[in-house]
């Protein structure tokens, strides 16, 4: 991960906010709560505490919803022909770090979600209907106030395996690293 400028991001975030819609969201507290509510509607005699405990101990609840989430992300990836992505993170973890990572030819939801920290995350992924890029709000125990990610669809470099092309010029089809090697 390398540093990137925070100021630029704030501007970009504001610029895209008006055209966003939720692609997927994940919140285990909310899932448990709505399942408990559902159980009490099915059985009005059930106490609030019991309903919560049943919901919390349901081994399938999270599995089913996670499968739904992966399917939605998988469809998004398919729509964009398994794209390469530049993922910029802001305010990450307790150190509030900024940085970016590139993912080449993303095929699966698991591969896509690899930018999230390996812990219990609560997140929402927003889709920008103008440029089709994504924005992610994520919270976890090391980042209770939330960290942000911006995900841009980019092209993969024609020469090397990992490189991506950031230039919007369609004539440019190799990454900056390969360009440096050629000159």
Q: How far is the CB of 164 from Zn ion (least distance, A)?
A: 8
Per CB under 5 A, 175 contacts Zn ion: yes
Contact at 8 Å (CB) between 115 and 106?
no
The window from 85-93, 136-144, 164-172, 173-181 that contacts Zn ion (CB under 5 A) reads 173-181
How far is residue 156's CA from residue 25's CA, in Å, rounded to a whole number?
28
Report the residue number, 46 or 159, with the smaller CB distance to Zn ion: 159
Q: How far is the CB of 87 from Zn ion (least distance, A)?
A: 18
Q: How far is the CB of 176 from Zn ion (least distance, A)?
A: 8
**Sequence-separated (6 or more) residues with CB below 8 Å from residue 98:** 3, 4, 5, 6, 9, 88, 89, 90, 91, 92
* N- to C-terminal Cα separation, the chain: 26
Contact at 8 Å (CB) between 69 and 26?
yes
Q: 131-170 mask for Zn ion (x: CB under 5 A)?
A: --------------------------x-xx--x-------
Q: In this chain, which residue has its C-beta nearest to Zn ion?
A: 163
Report the residue number, 12 or 178, with the smaller CB distance to Zn ion: 178
The DSSP code for 59 is: H
């Amino acid at each position: 991960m390398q540093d990137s400028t925070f100021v630029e991001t704030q501007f970009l975030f504001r610029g895209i906010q008006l055209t966003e819609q939720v692609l997927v969201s994940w919140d285990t507290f909310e899932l448990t709560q709505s399942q408990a509510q559902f159980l009490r509607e099915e059985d009005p005699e059930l106490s609030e505490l019991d309903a919560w405990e049943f919901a919390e101990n349901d081994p399938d609840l999270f599995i089913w919803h996670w499968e739904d989430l992966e399917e939605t992300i998988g469809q998004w990836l398919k729509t964009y022909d398994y794209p390469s992505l530049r993922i910029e993170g802001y305010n990450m973890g307790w150190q509030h770090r900024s940085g970016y990572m590139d993912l080449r030819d993303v095929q699966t939801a698991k591969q896509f979600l690899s930018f999230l920290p390996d812990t219990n995350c609560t997140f929402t992924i927003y889709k920008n209907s103008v440029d089709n890029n994504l924005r992610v709000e994520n919270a976890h125990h090391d980042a209770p106030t939330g960290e942000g990610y911006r995900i841009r669809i980019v092209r993969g470099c024609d020469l090397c395996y990992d490189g991506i092309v950031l230039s919007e010029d369609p004539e440019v089809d190799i990454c900056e690293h390969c360009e440096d090697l050629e000159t």
